[in-house]
Structure 1
Amino acid sequence: MTAIAIRDCRPGDLPAIARIYGHWVETGRASFELSPPGEEEMERRRDAILAGGYPYIVAEDADGTVLGYAYVSAYRPRPAYRHAVENSVYVSPEAGRGGIGRALLTALIARCEAADFRLMVAVIGDSANAPSIGLHAALGFRHVGVLPSIGWKHEQWLDTVLMVLPLGPGDTAPPGRP
């Protein structure tokens, strides 16, 4: 694996993030968006995540090139769900299979545990998405279900795979944050 640094996302990262995400929207089945959002929309989304108190991070190489990004957001908006987060991890197609996704997700898990979140949910687009399913499983996520044929993209029906990872003490103790 190339030497990488994991750091908080900065506004200057948004062109790379929009490019990475745009690639996967156009060519992949992990995201169920049909058209890539532009930089302005990606900035709006990032700002909303940060305003909610959630981490948004990037992986960069020694030259400062953004190789991937990851964040969590609220799993659901109702207050009882406030201790559960949903993760998203996207890696540049040029940097795939190089450990970038693992480094990002590992860092994201650590940040969420430090913030006293108790459950991380992976909502993985496409049951054939072996790299994402394998990454989550390798980091301790367990499979809890499949929503069959829930999305239509690239002229085919796609499943959503649900995986979860308890964080910190999980459900064995009450949360410390409101």
Structure 2
Amino acid sequence: MLEEEYEPRRLAKPFHLRRIDPPEPTFSYEIRAATAKDLPAVRQIYDHYVTNTMVTLDTERRSLRTWRSKYAYLARLGLPFLVAVSPSGQVLGYALAEPWIQKRAYRFTAEESIYLRPASTGKGLGKALLTALMEAGKQAGLKQLLAVVADSGADASLALHRSLGFTETGRMGKVAYKFDRWIGTVMLQRSLK
């Protein structure tokens, strides 16, 4: 073939590489009753909030012995203590209900606590745990569930409780002192009937 008879080849449009990100790993968990083996992880989660936030008004870390005692006490009373665990068994968070006041007349009312590992926040786990705790509390015979939430630094907790039907029943100003500042509390209540 002569050069002048040669038809130039058409070049394909330039190929542009597109960056394809791998899919995000799914956030999965199972909610179940806590066991004594979960308590070191529960303690670790709680200690983070004691030392770094005003979400809890505790100023001292709790010992493993204290957690074991609380676990046994709640079990004797038949009150729920739940954990959320990853497929690998890591405790991602916990929720529990404990007597609000140590008087028999208050036996159908409990105060709830819910704490998540920091990497597990913002993914719907708090709502799932609190929903499961409300159901477990109802099955345990509770009629009212209370939450006492710090009035600063706990906006996500307040929003979570309100989204699940908790209503504000009171406020106390400057009742706790932590990290060199005064903190108030917000009381929320939810009927389990």
TM-score between the two structures when normalised by the length of structure 2: 0.84
Once residues 43 and 22 of structure 1 are traced to their aligned partners in structure 2, the CA distance between those partners, rounded to angstroms, is 15
Quote the residue 1:144 is aligned against.
169
Matched AA of 1:62: P
Question: Take 1:127 and 1:162, find their aligned partners in 2: how far apart are those partners?
Answer: 13
Other structure's SS at 2:97 match: strand
1:28 aligns with 2:69: no
2:189 matched to which residue of 1? 164
Matched, 1:125 2:127: no
Aligned 8 A contact 1:127 1:161 in 2: no
* Deviation of the 1:19 alpha carbon: 0.5
Q: Deviations over 1:33-80 (max 9, x none)?
A: 111112222111121121121010100111111000010011111111
Task: Name the amino acid aligned to 1:142.
Answer: T
C-alpha separation in 1, matches of 2:35 and 2:138: 22
Give the counterpart letter for 1:31 in structure 2.
T
Structure 1 unaligned spans of 5+: 169-178
Deviations 1:113-141 (A, max 9, x none): 12221110111123441010000001000
Instruction: After the TM superposition, list the runs of 4 or more consecutive aligned residues in structure 1 that deviate by more than 6 angstroms.
Output: none
Q: In structure 2, what residue type is equivalent to 1:50?
A: A
Q: Which residue of 2 aligns with 1:79?
A: 104
Larger Rg belongs to = 2
Query: Which residue of 2 is the match for residue 55 of structure 1?
Result: 80
Preserved CA contact (<8 Å) 1:24 1:31: yes
Structure 1 Cα separation of the partners of residues 178 and 157 of structure 2:
18
Tell me which amino acid in the other structure corresponds to 2:144: L
| SS across alignment from 2:165 | coil
2:28 maps to 1:6:
no
CA contact (8 A) 2:167 2:189 kept: yes
CA distance in 2: counterparts of 1:37 and 1:115, whole angstroms:
26
Q: CA deviation at 1:10?
A: 0.8
Q: Provide the C-alpha distance between the structure 2 equivalents of 1:142 and 1:22, rounded to a whole number of angstroms.
A: 28
Asked if the contact 2:148–2:188 (Cα under 8 Å) also holds between the matched residues in 1, the reply is: yes
Deviation at 1:32, TM superposition (A): 1.3
Counterpart for residue 126 of structure 2: 101
State how many pairs are aligned: 168
